[in-house]
């Protein structure tokens, strides 16, 4: 494990806050999968084929719906999406209103006591839907067992089947939902409904939102007919991608099933999202982010969501911002424009900023190693004013970044005073691992929490650490406690009653973990400049409070000559040089300065009267401002030349 705990950025506090405010419980996961047998024998009139689509440089194979010839209709004519259902009369509308007032199935049957020729397909469908609703809500079934009731039901099924092609899309969708949730729906009517749905899918007669309703209706059933129907629905949606816009895209994200067969639709939705994202509302953006996480999306939409935020920042609520920041943390998305938007929002809200939102914003900056002095200063002032009302997790999320990012605002006296007061007040409420990490983080900025030594280094607190059930969490806590203990020993005169026994001593571990190639380049240059065997590599130093190895050690005497380090351990006339190779993992991405923990090691080295030469690497592990290998030689020659003559 690296000396610097870079893997610890996404904390338990972050996960708790993100889960607490996540509105994204997936719709499909909430649906109970019903195993009732609806797989009635039906010969499908739809089949799927594939076509090749090219979008600029992107070539993709996509499924398409093919409607097979229906030999029951001659000549075969395709409707091309122009459905003309029967125009319902005022009597139909009045009859529907009367049926919807019925509070029992018996009342529905009384309303049906009219001549059969007066009951149209529309009225029959509405009656079936009302009966289905009452049966489902009130578990009424005895009214359907009589001979007369069965005869009436059969007549309703027959009328609906006969006029199925004249019913509107919304009635067809409702009938599908009705039969899917019923154990007694007539099989022949089921076949008619399914066939009519397939015809309309094949003819692209459903609107996009109506197709999404069909998907929801069938997605909760696991029989073959329902599975195939869902597949056909989404193929049709994919074939009509030009109809996807701001009026329906949020709903499509909500109901899109997960699975490899639907992955191409995620890419399609992302492309259509880019065409109209600025027209969406805040709750729709939040919902889309939720389902991007559920669908394990690539997160490409985040670029456009960031643009949406810049457009609508004055209308985004704090609750919506909580969801947005949480999603950006989930996708590990780093964007300077998004950071500017966060800074604008924090500056505008100031003291009114929601504590949970501030916690997530601080976690976002921490996770990306980005130092925003504006946000940190505002967080300090917010804590000074509201610190006593912070929860333990909010304390952890907001206080930890100060040390982690190696930044302490100016005029921080009141802040540090408040920190001590609040931690004292909530000492026994804060989880043991979080408490140790908070206190250690202030060691990173040179503020040793001396007043807590006797509470931490005692048998009862050690027992809490040893009782941590999660082994990785316990080891992480022990590593922070080790740094805290070294801070007390090395930068304060505080004595404490007990030492913690650390079972694993990692003498081979370096302060900075960088690729071996980088050390090889430095080693070659030192061999040429200093001489082979005239420097030490990966070693500890005298009185070094850590068991971390340092990269390279070079000693120079008063005459400017290089001498082997071991010969002059106690000689004050020796200039001691430490050369450290630092990767970007240990630096803030925007300022380039060392993060808290590695900066602490450097500070301790300097306290031992060592001179430090730092060689920084960029994100590609190339030497910053030192291109190619020969120039590392020139750089070291220049730095070492301050202490010797070449």
Q: What is the pLDDT of residue 110?
A: 79
- Summarize the confidence of residues 61-70 as an average pLDDT: 71
Mean pLDDT of the chain: 83
Report the alpha-carbon distance of residue 535 to residue 523 in Å, rounded: 10
Rg over alpha carbons for the chain, rounded to the nearest Å, is 35
Which helix (H) or strand (E) is 66 found in, with range? strand 58-67
Whether the pLDDT of residue 504 is over 70: the answer is no
Q: What is the pLDDT of residue 82?
A: 47
Residue 227 DSSP symbol: H
* First-to-final CA distance of the chain: 39
Q: What is the pLDDT of residue 622?
A: 66
* CA-based nearest residue to 308, from 348, 275, 278, 331: 278
Q: What is the pLDDT of residue 570?
A: 64
Which residue would you say has higher pLDDT here, 13 or 197? 197
Which residue would you say has higher pLDDT here, 635 or 45? 635
Tens of pLDDT, residue by residue over 437-462, are 999 999 999 999 999 998 998 889 99
- Summarize the confidence of residues 575-599 as an average pLDDT: 91
3-class SS letters over 163-179:
CHHHCCHHHHHHHHHHH
Distances (CA, A) of 332 to 299, 300, 356, 383: 9, 12, 19, 26
- Summarize the confidence of residues 166-175 as an average pLDDT: 94
Tens of pLDDT, residue by residue over 9-38, are 445 545 544 444 443 333 333 333 333 344
Tens of pLDDT, residue by residue over 345-400, are 999 988 899 999 999 999 999 999 999 999 999 999 999 999 999 999 999 999 99
Question: Model's pTM, two decimal places?
Answer: 0.82
Percent share of the chain, pLDDT over 90 = 49
* CA-based nearest residue to 482, from 460, 499, 461: 499
Tens of pLDDT, residue by residue over 208-246, are 999 999 999 999 888 888 999 999 999 999 999 999 999
Q: In a 3-state reduction of DSSP, which class is residue 523?
A: helix
Report the alpha-carbon distance of residue 277 to residue 207 in Å, rounded: 20
Report the alpha-carbon distance of residue 171 to residue 127 in Å, rounded: 11
Beta bridge partners of 582: 616
Q: What is the pLDDT of residue 568?
A: 55
Which residues have C-beta within 8 Å of that of residue 346, sequence separation ≥ 6?
A: 353, 358, 361, 374, 375, 378
Whether the pLDDT of residue 626 is over 70: the answer is no
Range from 49-58, 153-162, 297-306, 578-587 carrying the lowest mean pLDDT: 49-58
Tens of pLDDT, residue by residue over 80-132, are 444 455 556 777 777 788 888 888 888 888 777 765 566 788 889 998 998 88
Q: What is the pLDDT of residue 8?
A: 40
Report the alpha-carbon distance of residue 533 to residue 42 in Å, rounded: 85
* CA-based nearest residue to 51, from 64, 33, 39: 64
* CA-based nearest residue to 485, from 498, 473, 470: 498
Helices 471-491, 432-444: axis angle to 10 degrees equals 40
- Summarize the confidence of residues 490-508 as an average pLDDT: 65
Tens of pLDDT, residue by residue over 530-564, are 998 888 887 666 666 666 678 888 989 888 888 88
Distances (CA, A) of 239 to 236, 357, 527: 5, 40, 66
Q: What is the pLDDT of residue 630?
A: 52
- Summarize the confidence of residues 258-285 as an average pLDDT: 93
Report the alpha-carbon distance of residue 298 to residue 275 in Å, rounded: 18
Q: What is the pLDDT of residue 631?
A: 77
Identify the burial level of 533 via C-beta atoms within 10 angstroms of its C-beta, where 0-12 means exposed, 13-18 middle and 19 or more buried. exposed
Report the alpha-carbon distance of residue 371 to residue 328 in Å, rounded: 17
- Give the max Cα distance, the chain: 119
Q: What is the pLDDT of residue 71?
A: 56
Which helix (H) or strand (E) is 308 found in, with range? helix 302-312
Find the length of the chain: 646
Among 274-283, 295-304, 610-619, the range with the most confident prediction by mean pLDDT is 274-283
Q: How confident is the model at residue 645 (pLDDT cuts 50, 70, 90)?
A: confident
Q: What is the pLDDT of residue 56?
A: 62
- Summarize the confidence of residues 496-511 as an average pLDDT: 60
Whether the pLDDT of residue 133 is over 90: the answer is no
Report the alpha-carbon distance of residue 319 to residue 340 in Å, rounded: 19
Q: What is the pLDDT of residue 290?
A: 96
- Summarize the confidence of residues 424-449 as an average pLDDT: 95
Whether the pLDDT of residue 314 is over 80: the answer is yes
Whether the pLDDT of residue 167 is over 90: the answer is yes
Report the alpha-carbon distance of residue 224 to residue 230 in Å, rounded: 10
């Amino acid at each position: 494990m690296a000396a610097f705990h870079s893997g610890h950025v996404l904390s338990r506090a972050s996960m708790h806050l993100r889960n607490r405010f996540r509105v994204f419980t997936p719709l499909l996961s909430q649906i109970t999968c019903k195993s009732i047998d609806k797989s009635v024998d039906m010969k499908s009139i739809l089949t799927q084929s594939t076509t090749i689509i090219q979008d600029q440089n992107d070539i993709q194979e996509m499924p398409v719906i093919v409607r097979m010839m229906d030999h029951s209709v001659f000549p075969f004519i395709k409707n091309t999406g122009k459905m003309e259902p029967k125009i319902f009369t005022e009597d139909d509308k009045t009859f529907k209103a009367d049926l919807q007032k019925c509070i029992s199935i018996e009342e529905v049957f009384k309303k049906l006591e009219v001549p059969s020729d007066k009951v149209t397909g529309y009225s029959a469908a509405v009656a079936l839907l009302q009966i289905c609703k009452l049966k489902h809500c009130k578990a009424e079934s005895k009214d359907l067992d009589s001979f007369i009731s069965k005869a009436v039901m059969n007549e309703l099924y027959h009328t609906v089947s006969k006029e199925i092609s004249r019913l509107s899309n919304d009635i067809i969708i409702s009938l599908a939902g009705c039969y899917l949730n019923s154990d007694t729906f007539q099989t022949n009517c089921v076949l008619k409904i399914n066939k009519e749905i397939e015809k309309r899918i094949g003819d692209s007669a459903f609107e996009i939102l109506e197709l999404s309703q069909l998907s929801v209706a069938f997605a909760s059933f696991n029989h073959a007919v329902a599975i195939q129907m869902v597949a056909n629905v989404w193929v049709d949606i994919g074939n009509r991608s030009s109809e996807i816009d701001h009026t329906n895209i949020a709903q499509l994200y909500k109901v899109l099933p997960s699975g490899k067969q639907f992955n191409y639709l995620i890419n399609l939705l992302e492309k259509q999202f880019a065409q109209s994202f600025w027209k969406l509302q805040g709750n729709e953006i939040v919902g889309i982010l939720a389902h991007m996480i559920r669908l394990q999306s690539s997160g490409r939409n985040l670029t456009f969501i960031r643009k949406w935020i810049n457009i609508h920042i004055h209308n985004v609520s704090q609750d919506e911002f909580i969801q947005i920041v949480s999603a950006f943390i989930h996708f590990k998305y780093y964007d300077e424009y998004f950071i500017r938007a966060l800074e604008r929002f924090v500056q505008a809200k100031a003291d009114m900023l929601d504590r949970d939102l501030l916690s997530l914003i601080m976690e976002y900056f921490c996770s990306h190693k980005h130092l925003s002095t504006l946000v940190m200063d505002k967080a300090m002032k917010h804590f000074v004013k509201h610190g006593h009302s912070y929860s333990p997790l909010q304390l952890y999320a907001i206080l930890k970044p100060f040390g982690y990012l190696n930044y302490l605002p100016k005029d921080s006296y009141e802040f540090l005073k408040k920190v001590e007061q609040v931690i004292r007040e909530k000492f026994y409420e804060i989880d043991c691992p979080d408490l140790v990490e908070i206190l250690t983080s202030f060691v990173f900025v040179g503020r040793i929490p001396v007043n807590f030594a006797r509470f931490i280094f005692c048998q009862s607190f050690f027992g809490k650490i040893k009782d941590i059930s999660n082994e990785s969490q316990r080891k992480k806590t022990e590593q922070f406690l080790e740094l805290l203990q070294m801070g007390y020993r090395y930068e304060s005169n505080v004595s404490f009653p007990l030492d913690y026994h650390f079972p694993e001593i990692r003498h081979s571990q370096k302060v900075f973990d960088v690729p071996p190639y980088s050390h090889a380049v430095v080693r070659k240059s030192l061999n040429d400049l200093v001489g082979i065997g005239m420097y030490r590599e990966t070693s500890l130093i005298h009185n070094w409070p850590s068991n971390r190895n340092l990269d390279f050690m070079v000693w120079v005497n008063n005459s400017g000559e290089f001498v082997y380090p071991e010969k002059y351990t106690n000689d004050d006339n020796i200039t001691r040089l430490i050369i450290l190779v630092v990767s970007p993992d240990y630096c803030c991405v925007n300022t380039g300065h060392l993060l808290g923990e590695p900066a602490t090691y450097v500070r301790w080295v300097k306290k031992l009267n060592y001179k430090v030469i730092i060689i920084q690497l960029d994100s590609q592990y190339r030497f910053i401002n030192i291109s190619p290998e020969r120039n590392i030689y020139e750089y070291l020659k220049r730095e070492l030349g301050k202490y010797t003559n070449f």
